Structure formats: structure tokens, C-alpha cells
Amino acid sequence: MKVPTQVTLVEVGPRDGLQNEKTPIATSIKIDLCKQLIEAGIHRLEAAAFVSPKWVPQMADGADVLAGLKALPELQQRKVSYSALVPNLMGMEAAIEAGVQEAVVFTAASEAFTQKNINCTIAESVERFKPVAELARAHNIHLRGSISCALGCPYQGDVAVQSAAEVALRLQDIGVQEFDVADTIGVGTALRVSQVFEAVASSVGIHNVAGHFHDTYGQALANILAALQLGVSTFHSSIAGLGGCPYAKGATGNVATEDVVYMLHGMGIETGLDLNRLVKTGIWISGSIGKPYISRAGRAVWSKLNSEVQA
């Protein structure tokens, strides 16, 4: 086992967690959410998506969110890397204007998924990102590549073990520096995770790989453990488990940050995060957008905190 002693969590709640919410969420709430996450210790924060507001109206205020965060004096001394999803050159230009330190391009390990979602093949999607990568290099912006459906696809079903590794190599060739291997529909199990992540790591190096797991079937923590045992030390998570799975109605989506932190701390792995503060933030944002608080570890921690106060 090569379990790392320290793990970095990329908090995706403000972007991936909120983007599919139908009811508009005030910019001030998004800024406050990001602020609380940073104060809890998050230093890599996916805060925006520079995509068409016609298709993702919830993300239309990304530049305002980032501007609001950078204007807060209490955050000035904190070293935070803000990232944003960018689908094309126009999105990249907007991200640069907003002052992001990381940009995220996205494709998939499934041809069926790319055809259904972005109307092109995997190869064509990577080709589209070439000018984005060139601009990222010119502005010294860290470029991540998200590989969706690495462990299963809602359209084609099984995805070959080597598919994500092949996509990672294509992305590396155009200048992508970090590879987010995503179980988009949460169907992965530990053995398959080990196989897929080993394949990707053999192509681009384990230290350049991040795990992005959804908890649709309750397997996210087991899958994170499987990736940890290979030496993966960067994972994505979403405060309060925000973000449902659009391909499984009623199912949970992103793994909750609180649950991941509880597991990692229990293993003696450092995260630099304050679990109690994360729990309070998770409860606050869930209430603010009218969602039940679903983090299992979070609910247990909150119950314990309340009982201690009463005692």
C-alpha cells in the first residue's frame, strides 16, 4: 500500500454542486459559501464555470463571484487557487479576465457520452481544447482535464479500462497538466477503480491524477480508498454532497466533503481542513438552498456538537 500521508481536496460544491439547481441562487450566497469553505481550510476551490448562461444559467455570475471573493479583506492573506470550468476559447478568455489560477476542460472516456453531450467525438473534443491550452500556457494557468464516465456511461454502459488512460494521453499531448478521472454516474466499485486508475497512472503518472467520485450507489468512500492505496493524493468533493446525479433520478451525486474528511482524518491522513467548520457550512448551505443535509458524517458530528453544548 502506498497511502499518502497528506491529501488535497479540491472543493467543487460552488460549481459542480450548484450548477444544476433550478432555482436561482443569489451571488451573495455563493460568495459566502466560498468564503466559509476557505476559512475551513480549502485552498483549491472550483468556484465558477464560464459556459453559456443559456445552457447553465446558475453559473452566469461566475465573474461576480470571483470578484466578490477577491474583494474580501479577510481572504487576502489566504493562498487559494480558484478554478473554473471552461468549454472553449471564449470561456478561457473570460476565466483569465476573472483572474483564475486553474482552468478545467472536459471530455469523456465514452464516445457515446461526448456525442450526446457535446456533439463530437473524443478526438474532436480534445482538438477543440488546443487553443485553450495554448492560452493557459501563455498566462501561466494550471490546466486540468476532466475525463467523465471513466468507470461507466449512462448511454453505452461499460467503459473499457484503458479508455481513460488513452484520453489522458491525448490531453497531455496538448498541454493538460492534471487529469481528473471521474465516475460521473457513480457506478464504479473498488476493483474497477484500481484497474482504471492504474492504467491512467501508467500513462501520465500517479501524482498528476485526481479522483472525482459520485456516491450514487454509496461506493464513493470505498472507491476513494482504492485510489488512495495506489498513491492518489488529490480528490474532488462537494460540501454537503451538493449536486445530484442527472442520470439517476433522486440519487445523490458528489461525495460529501465532510464524509471524505472524516475518513481521511480517521486514517491519520492530513488535509488541513477543519471538519467542524465544514459541517456548519454544509448545514448552512443546505438550509439556504432548501436541501436536506445528507452528509452522514456531518449529521453525526453535528449531533455530537449539539450534545456537548447541552451538557
Instruction: Read off the C-alpha cell for 282.
Output: 454544509
pLDDT value of position 143: 98
Q: Is the dihedral of CA 86, 256, 184, 212 positive or negative?
A: positive
The two beta strands, 209-213 and 81-85, are unpaired
pTM: 0.96
Q: Residue 180 — φ and ψ, nearest 5°?
A: -90, 105
pLDDT value of position 285: 98
pLDDT value of position 248: 58
pLDDT value of position 201: 97
Residue 270 and residue 264: Cα distance in Å, rounded? 7
Q: For the chain, how are helix, strand and coil distributed in percent, rounded to 5?
A: 50, 15, 35
Note if 245 is an active site residue. yes
Residue segments in the chain with a per-residue pLDDT below the cut of 50: none
**pLDDT tens digit sequence for 215-265:** 999 999 999 999 999 999 999 999 999 997 666 566 678 999 999 999 999
In the set 34, 149, 153, 245, the catalytic residue is 245
Q: Is the dihedral of CA 235, 24, 296, 300 positive or negative?
A: positive
b/e 263-279 (16+ beta carbons within 10 angstroms → b): bbeeeebebebebeebb
Residue 18 and residue 264: Cα distance in Å, rounded? 25
Residue 247 and residue 185: Cα distance in Å, rounded? 7
Residue 105 and residue 86: Cα distance in Å, rounded? 6
